[in-house]
Structure 1
Amino acid sequence: MDYQIIAKRILELKNADLNLREKLIKSKQLSEGYNQEMEKLHNQNAKTLAEIIEIIGYPTIDKVGKEANEATWLIIQHSIGQPDFMRKCAAELKTAVNENKADAIHLAYLTDRIAVFEDKPQLYGTQFDWDETGKLIPNPFDDLAKVNERRKAIGLITLEEQTESIQKRALNENQTPPKDFNKQKEEMNEWRKKVGWIK
């Protein structure tokens, strides 16, 4: 099995994702719901990655190297229209982390993202969204002290520090809150039902 070719393919998927994101930031289309072009690309990338995983198993650091392993996580993290795929990957990533073949921080981000889509509290506070006042804040989490303990255990800064950093980045990228908070929330819930996150 030529893992180098597979690693190269995974990096191509990641680069296509990041290039599109950059384009949407420049055209100020990133904050208005889930962009259709981006959704299509995320679903295509998930399909290709699923085929790769079918052949080689989870692309761990020892197989594809650190960079492609990180790119794998990014593709999974963005596969939000594929709940079953994300959950399956989270289980495989957990095994890889336990075997020291993947990064525990990646698992924390993926675990939180799944929790947010399932309407469950985050364990690490890695996922953020706009509130009704137009402020970018962490999605609901269980307990601040516990969240910060878990974050520290895997080498993350405190949630307070992360919040400040995320808010600065959004400002630098000219991200803005949705024009109609309730409408966007409604649309998001409809979308989550459609793809199968919630009933």
Structure 2
Amino acid sequence: MNYNEIAENIIELKNSDLEFREKLIESGKLGDGYNQEMAEIHNKNAKTLNEIIDKIGYPTVDKVGKEANEAAWLIIQHSIGQPNFMKKCVQLLDIAVKQNKANSKNLAYLTDRIAVCANKPQLYGTQFDWDENGELSPNLFDDLKMVNQRRKSIGLNSIEEQTELIRKQAKKNQQSPPTDFKRRKKEIEEWKKIVGWI
């Protein structure tokens, strides 16, 4: 098994994702719903990574190195059109974190992403979206005090500090809220049903 080759492959997948994301940012289209071409990249990357995981297990740091391990997580995090793959990966990542072979912050982000997709409260408050006031705010979470305790336990800043950072970054990337908030919410819920989250 050539782990170096596998690592390079995973990093290439991540780069194709981020390069296209950069194009969307430059054209001011990042916030305009889930771009079809981006969805295709995410699904293709998920399929390839799933094949790799079936061969080598979760791409932990000891197998593929830190960069490819982080790249694998990003691919999983972006594979929102593949609920079964994400759920499979969060279980594998949980095991890897318990064995000190992966990053606990990545597990927090993936756990929250899955919760948000399934319309459940997040545990760490890592996932944000536009609210009805046109501000980026954390998606539904269970309890502010508990969320901040969990965040602190894995080395994340408070949810209040993170909210400020996320909003600054959105301004820098010239992201703006949806023109029709209710329509966007409806479209997201319909998409979740189509791909099998709810």
Paired residue type of 2:132: E
1:187 aligns with 2:187: yes
Aligned to 2:120: 120
Look up the SS of the partner of 1:89 in the other structure: helix
- In the TM superposition, what whole-angstrom CA distance separates every residue of 1:150-198 from its partner, at most 9, and x where no partner exists? 0010000111111000000001000111111111111111100000000
Aligned to 2:10: 10
Percent pairwise identity: 66
1:58 aligns with 2:58: yes
In structure 2, the gaps of 5 or more residues are none
Q: TM-score, normalised by structure 2?
A: 0.99
| Equivalent residue runs for 1:69-148 within 5 Å | 69-148=69-148
Question: Take 1:189 and 1:141, find their aligned partners in 2: how far apart are those partners?
Answer: 18
Question: Take 1:29 and 1:135, find their aligned partners in 2: how far apart are those partners?
Answer: 17
> How far has the Cα of 1:132 moved from its partner?
1.0
Paired residue type of 1:13: L
- In the TM superposition, what whole-angstrom CA distance separates every residue of 1:1-48 from its partner, at most 9, and x where no partner exists? 110000000000000000000000011111111000100000000000
Aligned to 1:36: 36
Look up the SS of the partner of 1:129 in the other structure: strand
Paired residue type of 2:105: I
Q: TM-score, normalised by structure 1?
A: 0.99
Question: Take 1:54 and 1:101, find their aligned partners in 2: how far apart are those partners?
Answer: 18
Look up the SS of the partner of 1:119 in the other structure: coil
Question: Take 2:24 and 2:86, find their aligned partners in 1: how far apart are those partners?
Answer: 24
Q: Where has structure 1 moved over 3 Å in runs of 4 or more? A: none
Question: Take 1:167 and 1:190, find their aligned partners in 2: how far apart are those partners?
Answer: 27
Question: Take 2:142 and 2:132, find their aligned partners in 1: how far apart are those partners?
Answer: 21
Superposition RMSD on alpha carbons, in Å? 0.5
Report how many residues are paired. Answer: 198
Question: Take 1:185 and 1:31, find their aligned partners in 2: how far apart are those partners?
Answer: 13
Paired residue type of 2:86: M
